[in-house]
Structure 1
Amino acid sequence: MADAIERACRLTGAAQREKQNKRRQVSVTPTDAMLVITTFARMPVIMMGSVSDGRAVAAFLVLPIPTVVANLIAHELGHGFFAILARVQIKGFRIGGGTPIAQWCWRNVHFKLCWALWKGAHIDLGELPNSRWKQLMVYAGGVLGNLAFSIAVWLALPRSAWLECLVVTAVSVACALQNLIPGAPDGNAIWRLVWRGVASSKGIEQ
């Protein structure tokens, strides 16, 4: 009888320990979740080489902000470059927003430099040609400008700045893809030209 009671107590204790182990396996504390998130966030850095925490923070948290502004300017410059190739008149080019810091006119093009640089840039084009492919070239020029900016950064910076180049590339590609979405002004025009051969007679919409 005593042996049976002892055996039952052992089985009960084993069952309780098994339940506790299962609870430990299932339960995830906020600290565990944060550790997993930070580990995955640092995975590219760990895989590609050792990078100091300060450099990683600057690359992932600080660098994307000026990179977005630079991509907005590069995007409009891309429109302008291909507009020149398509012989489209450029009426004006503005960098930033708000009150102008400086403005001038060169070859009948009005340039403005404004204090709110985070608002990107804007190009004012004349009437687009009737050619379907020239219109497509002008509308897609902004996306090509984003990609060209990324390539220029890779060529300009040394190999040791590979992390910064990767961040710039990621932001540039994201900006390019965002402008290819059918809901975006450039995306609407590009897909209309590709599928219907018609975009808009109002020029580049911003």
Structure 2
Amino acid sequence: LSKVSDEGTTENPVFPKISESEFNHDGSQFGSWPNWENVRQIEKGMNKDQLYNLIGRLHFEEGLYGVREWDYAFNYRENGVHKICQFKILFDKNMNAQSFFWYPNGCNGNSSFTLTGDFLFDFDKATLTTKGKEVVDNVAQQLKASKAQQVKVAGYTDRLGSAAYNLDLSQRRSNTVKARLVQQGVTAQIEAVGYGKANQVKACDGETGQELKDCLR
């Protein structure tokens, strides 16, 4: 199993062996043939029942109680060739989905990139930092290489400020990233969505004043 933080993140996602999948009861295939439209609806903040409704029960034995890591094996065809890839969902301590990983990344046109706000934006800003431009440009190159057809950019903010203000800021941030991707030659259909201060990754409890702003940056 991966080492999952309270925020639902990990530095090193560990994928189980496909042969260990418990989804198949008979036959030689492992995993499922999912509804890919359902797969592409998955987003941060969803609970386990919502995910179960979209893609079914998890395919691997992850434990009995308080499980914060779900793994799936998905089958698909690429140019007529049968392939299989793995999908991992990590949950935070409140059991909200927070992180998603594909192995190999890019399988069936699906890639996940978690871009840390520390690098992208300064506190309370929607303009990319120099480092942020480098990070987004790198993602753009990977999207072009994978020939992605659809891209979703999800923007979030810290908890400071009103819900309306943060919703607007997160939308402006996601629009900024979208514009940069287009500028770098990404031709895929890009949807930019702002979620405000919902599903925060960094809580920074116990910090105040400038220390709080630095932590939430």
**Normalising to structure 1: TM-score of the pair?**
0.29
Instruction: Answer with 1 or 2: which has the greater Rg.
Output: 1
More helix by share: 1
